[in-house]
Amino acid sequence: MSFIHKTVLLDEAVDGLNLRADGIYVDGTFGRGGHSRLILSRLGPNGRLIAFDKDLHAIAEAQTITDPRFTIVHDGFASLGASLDALNVPVIDGVLLDLGVSSPQLDDGSRGFSFRFDAPLDMRMDTTRGITAADWLNSADEKDIAEVIRDYGEERFAKQVAAAIVAGRSERPLSTTGELAALVARAVRTREPGQDPATRTFQAVRIFVNRELEELALILPQALARLSVGGRFSVIAFHSLEDRIVKRFMQDQSKHDLPDRLPIRAADIPPAPLRIVGKPVRASADEVAGNPRARSAILRVAEKAAP
């Protein structure tokens, strides 16, 4: 089936890269290729784009691009350093990350990402490797389940949800999204208006199964080490956990960690590794009206400074 994907903050994210026609760029989250295609359209004949994605459907879409300037890597972006080494690319001029789950992944009920469909409880972005959500939920300790749901879903009823999952699996192993959603609905006593009781639990389990936050924390220093002077990060986050990691990294790398009262002149202090570019950007009202999933998106841009 074909699932529609509207690329969020398309022009804003690519503009943030401040593209050079002959530069080498990384799209760490190819998805359905919206950002990649726009980058390619702005590169010159000597430019290059290397894209990453775990999802086999995304890889299939990427393989329809026959542009010789384009390379697709079937792996998560945390493999950036090793993958660039394998491609003999020591330096890049920018990296774009569009974080989180994509619309096709949510809308394809068979993937198990959404409580809107009763489907196998998988949730893996890369279905060729790793443990499924069902396998983990049926084997993990109640304490570990509660911690994941609390930390990754910011669910205040995490203990109750974990207890309900363990009690439910003792009668019959969890195998579908519908079964998990029903257990959560009985455990969560109240929820924000318009939000399904299972929203936070599904987010938490998906993030954990795919190691989303760990991989984000891994790629940022790797990308900084590979960026050329003037090279840029352009990162779109969709929830507070991932945005917090991006924000703190950019802030930490944009200032010096020098002891107080150090007798050194300001002119002698070398620039910090990064320079934050502009203010965070959010989707316009028109974009949100046409694509409600854009409402939580936030774009941050930073540039590597001269040493």
pLDDT classification of 100: cutoffs 50, 70, 90: confident
Q: State the average pLDDT over residues 174-193.
A: 88
**Which residue from 57, 10, 69, 9 is spatially nearest to 32, judged by alpha carbons?**
57
Say how many Å lie between the first and final Cα of the chain, rounded.
50
Measured CA to CA, the distance from residue 276 to residue 182 in angstroms comes to 44
pLDDT at residue 193, rounded to an integer: 72
Domain 10-103+212-304 has CATH 3.40.50.150: yes
53 known ligand binder:
yes
Delimiting residues of CATH 1.10.150.170 domain(s) in the chain: 127-209
22 known ligand binder:
no
Between 5 and 169, residue with greater pLDDT: 169
81 known ligand binder:
no
User: In this structure, are strands 274-276 and 227-237 parallel, antiparallel, or unpaired?
Assistant: unpaired
For 163-167, the CB contacts below 8 A with 24+ separation are: 163/187, 165/137, 166/142
DSSP string, 216-279: HHHHHHHHHHHEEEEEEEEEEE-SHHHHHHHHHHHHHHTS--PPTT----GGGSPPPSEEE-S-
77 known ligand binder:
yes
Q: Which tens digit of pLDDT belongs to each residue from 210-243?
A: 999 999 999 999 999 999 999 999 999 999 999 9
Question: What one-letter code names the amino acid at 298?
Answer: I
Q: What is the mean pLDDT of the chain?
A: 90
Judged by average pLDDT, the poorest of 99-103, 110-114, 207-211, 249-253 is 110-114
**Measuring CA to CA, how many Å separate 170 from each of 63, 167, 219?**
44, 5, 39
115 known ligand binder:
no
260 known ligand binder:
no
pLDDT at residue 291, rounded to an integer: 85
Instruction: Specify the CATH superfamily of domain 127-209.
Output: Putative methyltransferase TM0872, insert domain (1.10.150.170)
31 known ligand binder:
no
pLDDT classification of 42: cutoffs 50, 70, 90: very high
Delimiting residues of CATH 3.40.50.150 domain(s) in the chain: 10-103+212-304
**Which residue from 161, 209, 200, 151 is spatially nearest to 183, judged by alpha carbons?**
161
Q: Find the Cα–Cα–Cα–Cα dihedral 199, 128, 62, 33, rounded to 10°.
A: 10
